[in-house]
């Protein structure tokens, strides 16, 4: 029940992070009406900055909160983080202007990485050392299931009753999460020996930086594609707006399957899992760019983009825990900082090529390049591991 409560928080995070993509044209039309009337593509690209703002909030909030609150009892910290989610999503739903909503999305994201980091540590401790990646995967499973159920439903709700209703739904989900954590999650102390200096020592380790770079660069390919999936469905594939939630369901099913397969595979070999994930991510994004003009190509490629997106997080999370040594709290949170740098980078670069007139499929080819760079980073990281093992023999 404790893990279910933690996964419910992941479910809420998944909805609030990803529902924006499906509602991007609706938000642009409402908050940027003059720009939308003159150039819908440019307005959609501008609305994509809401995705970047959320991602930057994760990047800043995750290490800051994790380092400052490492000594806090973990249940108390989880409750505080979920309370911020409730307030942030209520503000996203009611503030009147694009600039204010942009600020609310940034604020809503501050607890994102710290929540997943602390929840993953709690889940790993409940599951035991030989099943820690599966414990992480269970918590992240809430996020992936959100893409099967919550994001499509939130998108439908937003298209039907206005985009603000989607964020009200998220606020309700987090209120329920708050109650569930209070009732079901057992007491877990913080680390009484943790200091800001010890936690920040993670940043002195080259392998931590390389693992963060893998997530930041390689994972950017996912969001170069996913941020602009709604206009691809309507303007490129030529399907109606009502088909967008179903494409999101397909993405979510892929994420859910990829997440749990990755948890199993990562418990057996972290390195093998990382290689499979980054190569598969690049190939699936390439397939999207080449085939999304057709209905079958769109659905199949979106499924595989989702599958490899879901499989990346448990593997990168576990790798960070391995290479951070005694800075576990900040390392667990940094996973989501790195992935959301990728989120922000992909959305930003995708918006640039769309605004430049290259079309809604052009971000996919940006994503291929990002995945290729991620593979280079991973290769360097493994080469350093091999050299260090050789030196200790």
Q: What angle do CA 210, 305, 215 make, to 5 degrees?
A: 15
Residue 199's closest CA among 316, 67, 63, 376? 67
CA separation for the pair 285, 282 (Å, rounded): 5
CA separation for the pair 338, 334 (Å, rounded): 6
Which structure tokens are listed for 201?
Answer: 């020592």
Q: Cβ distance 303 to 254 under 8 Å?
A: yes
Question: How many helices, marked H, and strands, marked E, lie in the chain?
Answer: 20, 0
pLDDT score for 47: 86
For 108, 182, 344, the CA distances from 332, given in Å and listed in that order, are 19, 22, 20
Q: Cβ distance 309 to 45 under 8 Å?
A: no
pLDDT score for 167: 94
Dihedral pair phi/psi, residue 71, rounded to 5°: -85, -15
According to DSSP, residue 130 is labeled G
pLDDT score for 35: 87
Dihedral pair phi/psi, residue 69, rounded to 5°: -110, 20
- The continuous run of DSSP H or E covering 308 comes out as helix 295-323
pLDDT score for 282: 92
Residue 365's closest CA among 282, 278, 277? 282
Task: Give residue for tokens 């409940």.
Answer: 126
The count of residues in the chain is 393
Task: Give residue for tokens 């030196």.
Answer: 391
Which structure tokens are listed for 335?
Answer: 């996973």
CA separation for the pair 60, 286 (Å, rounded): 31
Instruction: Spell out the domain ranges in the chain.
Output: 2-392
Q: Cβ distance 166 to 154 under 8 Å?
A: yes
DSSP string, 341-376: HHHHHHHHHHHHHHHTTS-TTHHHHHHHHHHHHHHH
**Superfamily, domain 2-392:** MFS general substrate transporter like domains (1.20.1250.20)
Each of the 393 residues of the chain gets a pLDDT tens digit; together they read: 888 889 899 999 989 988 887 788 899 998 989 888 888 888 887 888 888 888 788 888 877 887 777 777 878 889 999 999 999 999 999 999 999 999 999 999 999 888 887 887 787 777 766 666 677 777 777 877 887 888 888 988 998 999 999 999 999 999 999 999 988 887 766 666 666 677 677 777 888 889 888 888 888 888 888 888 888 998 888 888 788 888 888 988 898 888 878 877 887 888 888 999 899 999 999 999 999 999 999 999 999 999 998 888 778 878 887 787 766 667 767 777 787 788 778 888 888 898 888 888 999 999 999 999 999 999 999 999 888 877 776
Q: How many CB atoms lie within 10 A of CB 370?
A: 26
Q: Helix or strand or coil: residue 327?
A: coil
Residue 316's closest CA among 147, 77, 137, 148? 137
Identify the sign of the CA torsion 309, 314, 315, 318.
positive
């Amino acid at each position: 029940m404790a893990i279910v409560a933690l996964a419910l928080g992941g479910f809420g995070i998944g909805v609030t992070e990803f529902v924006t993509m499906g509602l991007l044209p609706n938000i642009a039309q409402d908050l940027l009406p003059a720009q939308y009337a003159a150039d819908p593509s440019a307005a959609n690209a501008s609305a994509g900055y809401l995705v970047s703002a959320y991602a930057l909030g994760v990047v800043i909030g995750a290490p800051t909160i994790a380092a400052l609150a490492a000594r806090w009892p973990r249940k108390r910290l989880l409750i505080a983080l979920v309370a911020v989610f409730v307030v942030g999503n209520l503000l996203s739903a009611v503030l009147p202007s694009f600039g204010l909503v942009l600020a609310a999305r940034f604020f809503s994201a501050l607890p994102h990485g710290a929540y997943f980091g602390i929840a993953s540590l709690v889940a790993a401790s409940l599951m035991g050392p030989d099943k820690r990646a599966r414990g992480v995967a269970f918590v992240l499973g809430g996020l992936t299931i959100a893409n099967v159920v919550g994001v499509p439903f939130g998108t439908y709700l937003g298209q039907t009753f206005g985009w603000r209703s989607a964020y009200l739904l998220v606020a309700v989900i987090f209120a329920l999460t708050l109650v569930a954590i209070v009732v079901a999650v057992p007491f877990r102390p913080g680390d009484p020996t943790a200091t800001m200096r010890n936690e920040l020592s993670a940043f002195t380790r080259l392998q931590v930086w390389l693992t963060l770079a893998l997530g930041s660069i390689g994972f950017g390919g996912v969001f170069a594609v996913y941020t602009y999936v709604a206009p691809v469905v309507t303007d490129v594939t030529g399907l109606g707006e009502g088909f967008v939630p179903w494409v999101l369901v397909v993405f979510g099913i892929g994420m859910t399957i990829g997440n749990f397969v990755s948890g199993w595979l990562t418990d057996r070999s972290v390195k093998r899992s990382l290689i499979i994930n980054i190569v598969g991510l690049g190939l699936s994004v390439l397939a999207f760019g080449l085939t999304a003009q057709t209905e079958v190509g769109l659905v199949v490629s979106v499924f595989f983009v989702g599958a490899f997106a879901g499989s990346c997080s448990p593997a990168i999370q576990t790798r960070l825990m391995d290479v951070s040594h005694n800075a576990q709290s900040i390392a667990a949170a940094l996973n989501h900082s790195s992935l959301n740098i990728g989120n922000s980078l992909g959305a930003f670069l995708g918006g640039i090529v769309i605004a430049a007139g290259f079309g809604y499929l052009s971000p996919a080819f940006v994503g291929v390049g990002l995945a290729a760079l991620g593979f280079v980073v991973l290769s360097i990281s493994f080469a350093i591991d091999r050299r260090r093992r050789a030196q200790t023999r």
